[in-house]
Structure 1
Amino acid sequence: MRGEPSCPKCGGRVRAPGLFADSWQCALHGAVHPLQPIVPPGVNALTVAVDRAKVPVWMPWPLPVGWLFTGVASAGDDRAGGRATAVACSGPGPLGGPGELLLIAEELGVGLGARYAGVDGPDPAPHLDMTEAPPVKVLAGGRPTPLWLARGTPEDRAVFAGEAMGLWLWAVVWPQQCGLLMYDEIVLADLRDAGSEMDLVPCGALSPRILS
């Protein structure tokens, strides 16, 4: 686990705002929204991320049968708020074996989704062929949301991306064949609107995917 903020694009160390810069700085990427330390999953961790977030905190709700919430990440500081969120869920894959799903919501240029997707960032548009019909549609915040399959991703995962509520939405699934999960009628809830229902979220062990 990380004990201090890091760069959302590369995971490298970041320098806090100071005399010569009013934003967090990565030696490689310049000004960034810092990725906050990741803590074990639980209602408290989820509440902190939700309270900070300026973007949706997406989670399949209800969760697929046998699936658990297994981690949350947030990029941004207390001054600017969370400008990207990532929620990890884990459970049985549609073809058997374990599956992992990361849902990332982020503002333009943050780069957290591209990092988890394993592609050059910061945004998904160069990896999507939006001239073709989207293979996947989810219901995000009550709105039908098309997602396109990203090209050029590592072979161990399937990556889908699109726009929801004017922000990027990434869905990164391990292993690749577990991407079949996205072809079901997935309903995504923004946990900022969940209220007391967050106490009902079933929690599992921390996913190593959200630490990568």
Structure 2
Amino acid sequence: MVSVVVSCPRCAGQVRPPDLMHPESRCARCGPVAPLNVPEHIGAEIMASVVERVAADAAPDRPGVPLWCPWPLPTGWTVTGVGWAGDDAAGVRATAVACAGPAPLEGGPADLVLVAEEPGVGLGARFAGMSGPDPGPELTEALTGPGAGHPEHVEPARIRVGGHPTPLWLVNSAADRSAYAGEARGMWLHAIAWPASAGHLLAEDVVLHDLSEWTPPELVYGAPSPYLHGRV
């Protein structure tokens, strides 16, 4: 059995499971939530168990939540964690995959967490360090900002997601990280990088692959991500 740590997807607080009085999982601070489940360790067997859990929740009338991961991994990078938000009652409503490796510009270590989620979950906003639960207001601000040619204009990061060019827009975040948000397969897609300069990784030829469709046996795993586990 995979040992998991369960927390609130919005504030990282404790979550109470459903009971006779409350049919949904709930956080004392945030109310009803889709609890975040993160295995304590990461490896091929644990990844396979999470992929099975996520894939089992998909149905013809309800597409599964993708498990986005850079593939191929950037040089020197490893997968450092995986998680999902949901419970038996609500199903899987969000996923998160963490990676780590050398920072693209300044050297030193860098971390990246990719989140796919249905509206209202709040997991991407938690990692970005912004008010949530969804990035809609942040994206509106980014999309209505100064146009091309203005010194404050910021071009979106353009990556390939499931074979399709996909823009990710820089949104406001805590100062120690950079956060991008966009849409893929009808769900929010977040990319949060530490330190802030590590967001330049998304300016490279990054391709995101859905691990729930196929998990490359060549994936390399590293030490558990402190960000995915809420330790920092």
One fold, TM greater than 0.5?
A: yes
Deviations 1:168-205 (A, max 9, x none): 0000001111111111121000001115x2x3210011
Q: TM-score, normalised by structure 2?
A: 0.85
Quote the Cα distance in structure 1 between the aligned partners of 2:125 and 2:188. Answer: 11
CA pair 94-193 structure 1, distance change in 2 beyond 3 A: same
SS of the residue corresponding to residue 193 of structure 1 reads coil
RMSD: 1.6
For 1:82, the aligned partner's letter is V
Partner SS state of residue 227, structure 2: helix
Partner residue in 1 for 2:157: 136
The answer for the alignment partner of 1:205 in structure 2 is: 223
Counterpart residue identity of residue 130, structure 1: L
**Change beyond 3 A, Cα 1:127–1:108:** same
Deviations 1:101-124 (A, max 9, x none): 110000100011110110011011
Give structure 1 stretches of 5+ with no counterpart.
Answer: none
CA distance in 2 between partners of 1:42 and 1:71 (Å): 8
What secondary structure is seen at the aligned counterpart in 2 of 1:179? helix
1:109 equivalent among 110, 120, 130: 120
Distance 1:55 1:43 in 2: 20
Deviation at 1:38, TM superposition (A): 2.9
Residue 150 of structure 2 is matched in structure 1 by: none
Matches within 5 A, 1:62-81: 62-81=72-91
Q: Following TM superposition, where does structure 1 have runs of at least 4 consecutive aligned residues deviating by more than 6 angstroms?
A: none
Q: Aligned residue for 1:148?
A: 169
- The offset of 1:15, in angstroms, is 1.6
Three-state SS of the structure 1 residue aligned to 2:137 is helix
The percentage of aligned residue pairs carrying the same residue is 50
CA distance in 1, matches of 2:129, 2:228: 13
CA contact (8 A) 1:34 1:75 kept: yes
Gapped regions of structure 2 (runs ≥ 5):
55-63, 148-154
Instruction: Count residues in correspondence.
Output: 208
| Residue 103 of structure 2 corresponds to residue 93 of structure 1 | yes
Look up the match of 1:162: 182
In terms of Rg, which structure is larger? 2
Equivalent position SS for 2:222: coil
Cα displacement (A) at 1:89: 0.5
Matched, 1:194 2:214: yes
Report how far residue 76 of structure 1 moved: 0.8
TM-score (norm 1): 0.92
The answer on 1:44 being equivalent to 2:31 is no
Q: Which amino acid aligns with 2:110?
A: G
Alpha-carbon offset, residue 209 of structure 1: 1.3
